[in-house]
Amino acid sequence: MKRTIIDAHCDALTKLYAKPELDFYKEEKELDVSWPRLQRAGVGVQFFAIYLSESLGMPSFDHVLRMIDTFHRKINRKEHVVFVRDADDLLEAERSGKLGALLSLEGVDALGGDMAYVRLLYHLGVRSVGITWNYANWAADGVMEPRKGGFTVKGKQMVKELDRLGILIDVSHLSVQGFWELTELYEKPLIASHSNAYELCGHPRNLSNEQIAALIGRGGQIGLTFVPFFVQSAGPADIGGLLRHLDHVCSLGGERHVGFGSDFDGIEEWVVGLEHAGRYENMIEALCKHYSEEQVQRFLHGNWRRFLIENLPQR
């Protein structure tokens, strides 16, 4: 049976920007996510994050523009890809059998508090924004910032603008204080594109039971991630360990609010059996041993599909 996958986070775009010699349409050893590997796995929709690594120096909006240009030059080929900016684009990708490619921004550092840049993101097709990476920026504190603060005044202003535009807000990497402030500032469903359960692995990037319940309660979506040290704190992480996080989210009422957000190309260690996107078949095999076919389809594709159709802009 053909199974389609939606993956809510990868950093392939950062690698393609940093190393112009890499070809997305070849099976490059350095790329976890490439066209051949996505095709082999049956990935139907892939989120591509715009992440400005520290190696670029001071982040600027020019970097964001250049990464979007890289996306269009290296990934967005019309014969293979549908650029997903609204729910109709998602359905078009399904109908055509092409890869749906959705742009996200990981950390708003480069926007510098300028709401015109926030609006430009929307016009350029960015449909998901993570407020921070691990540390503080002008908008809010990240989860690893020692002071553990929340949002700034400018950050709260940005949340209102994202709300008005209809851009999804991603809480992965946001501080705990920021998370709870956001639930007060923003009434729509939130996503955690690449986070696991803190109850099972006590890394600060993972979500507490209370946070998971809050996301589920407002109709949000969680993408379980393949970062080994978010799966378990000691020893080699395997697919069974990842499924324990899936079981845990389901036990909190999240069976219809959970999928995957691999973080491929953002990691230098891998879950055993999930070394790149082409190995998704190992995940599918493990899921089929533990869940019904309906549940497997939901976790791989259906939950994210429903969420995106309901929450992406409508034409």
List, as own/partner pairs, every contact residues 156-160 make where C-beta atoms lie below 8 angstroms and the sequence separation is at least 24, other chains included: 156/181, 156/185, 157/115, 158/108, 158/111, 158/113, 158/115, 158/118, 158/131, 159/185, 159/186, 160/185
Name the nearest CA neighbour of 299 among 280, 315, 314: 280
What is the band of 127 on the pLDDT scale with cuts at 50, 70, 90? very high
| Helices and strands of the chain, counted as H and E runs | 13, 9
- Interval 255-307: pLDDT, tens: 999 999 999 999 999 999 999 999 999 999 999 999 999 999 999 999 999 99
Q: What is the average per-residue pLDDT within 73-77?
A: 97
- Interval 140-195: pLDDT, tens: 999 999 999 999 999 999 999 999 999 999 999 999 999 999 999 999 999 999 99
Count of domains forming the chain: 1
Does the reported pTM lie above 0.85? yes
Cβ contacts of 245 within 8 Å, gap of 6 or more: 196, 197, 200, 201, 224, 231
- For residue 2, the model assigns a pLDDT of 66
What is the band of 1 on the pLDDT scale with cuts at 50, 70, 90? low
Rounded to whole angstroms, the Cα distance separating 48 from 28 reads: 17
Which CATH number characterizes residue 223's domain? 3.20.20.140
Radius of gyration over alpha carbons of the chain, in Å? 18
- Interval 211-270: pLDDT, tens: 999 999 999 999 999 999 999 998 899 999 999 999 999 999 999 999 999 999 999 999
Q: Determine contact, residues 272/239, Cβ cutoff 8 Å.
A: yes
Tokens standing for residue 206: 């993972």
Which domain, by its residues, includes 275? Answer: 5-311
- For residue 58, the model assigns a pLDDT of 86
Residue 109: helix, strand or coil by DSSP? helix
- For residue 235, the model assigns a pLDDT of 85
Q: What is the average per-residue pLDDT within 57-71?
A: 95
118 C-beta neighbours (distance < 10 Å), count: 23
Q: What is the average per-residue pLDDT within 86-109?
A: 97
Cβ contacts of 33 within 8 Å, gap of 6 or more: 7, 10, 12, 46, 262, 264, 265, 276, 277
- For residue 54, the model assigns a pLDDT of 82
Q: Determine contact, residues 170/141, Cβ cutoff 8 Å.
A: no
- For residue 117, the model assigns a pLDDT of 98
Q: Determine contact, residues 313/87, Cβ cutoff 8 Å.
A: yes
